[in-house]
Chains A and B, each alone.
Chain A
């Protein structure tokens, strides 16, 4: 069965610090990869996605993620976080042949002003 593992459960950073959240998945076939974000009191929403092509993808609000196929990883990065980035971040994988969407456990990011 497909699974997604996020390495960090709770991350605390100061503003302007750099961010990297780890994500690994287990699935042998072709996948689409996603990061979703849930800001306090809001719905889950898409942050960025990877379908094919350039393994470095850019999303909203300065976030980017890199797909490394050999490592089954899709880590999320941001060079300089802001207080408004405080949220819960979820990595997700979808096998290309099914469309099923499986999420990791989530990482809570707290940015201190």
Chain B
């Protein structure tokens, strides 16, 4: 596709379960970002991949959160042992040029 694709669009999970969120960036984009959007909290930076460099994981809120990017393309954000405070919209974006990011539609995660 032409844009950033995220799946699933919606995910409801039970507290304590693990979830995986997927992001397919725009082909050729070297940078990939994950953010968390909660009501009143804006876009919280989680992790940033740039080419073959080590990812910037400084925004991951706890060791329950991890992300990988395979082959410089698809990325998966994994949340282990989900908690209710993890409920949010998780946004992925990709970029080719200096912060001009293209966003996906997001995955709405609800932990019950």
CB distance from A85 to the nearest CB of B (A): 19
Secondary structure dominating the interface of B: strand
Query: For residue A49, which residues in chain B have a CB less than 8 angstroms away from its CB?
Result: 99-100
Contact A43 B98 (CB under 8 A): no
Q: Mark B39-74, 1 if CB is under 8 A from A, else 0.
A: 011110100101000001010000000000000000
Give the complex CA separation of A45 and B42 in angstroms.
15
Query: For residue B99, which residues in chain A have a CB less than 8 angstroms away from its CB?
Result: 32, 34, 49, 92, 94, 99, 101
Contact B103 A43 (CB under 8 A): yes
CB distance from B38 to the nearest CB of A (A): 10
Number of A-B contacts (CB under 8 A): 58
Give the complex CA separation of A3 and B41 in angstroms.
13
In chain B, positions 10-61 with a C-beta closer than 8 Å to chain A are: 31, 33, 35, 40-43, 45, 48, 50, 56, 58
Number of B residues near A (Cβ < 8 Å) is: 23
Query: For residue B56, which residues in chain A have a CB less than 8 angstroms away from its CB?
Result: 98, 100
Contact B42 A104 (CB under 8 A): yes
CB distance from B5 to the nearest CB of A (A): 11
Contact A43 B105 (CB under 8 A): yes
Contact B98 A94 (CB under 8 A): yes
- Identify the A interface with B (CB < 8 A): 1, 6, 9, 32, 34, 36, 43-46, 49, 51, 90, 92, 94, 96, 98-106
- Identify the B interface with A (CB < 8 A): 3, 31, 33, 35, 40-43, 45, 48, 50, 56, 58, 91, 93, 95, 98-101, 103-105
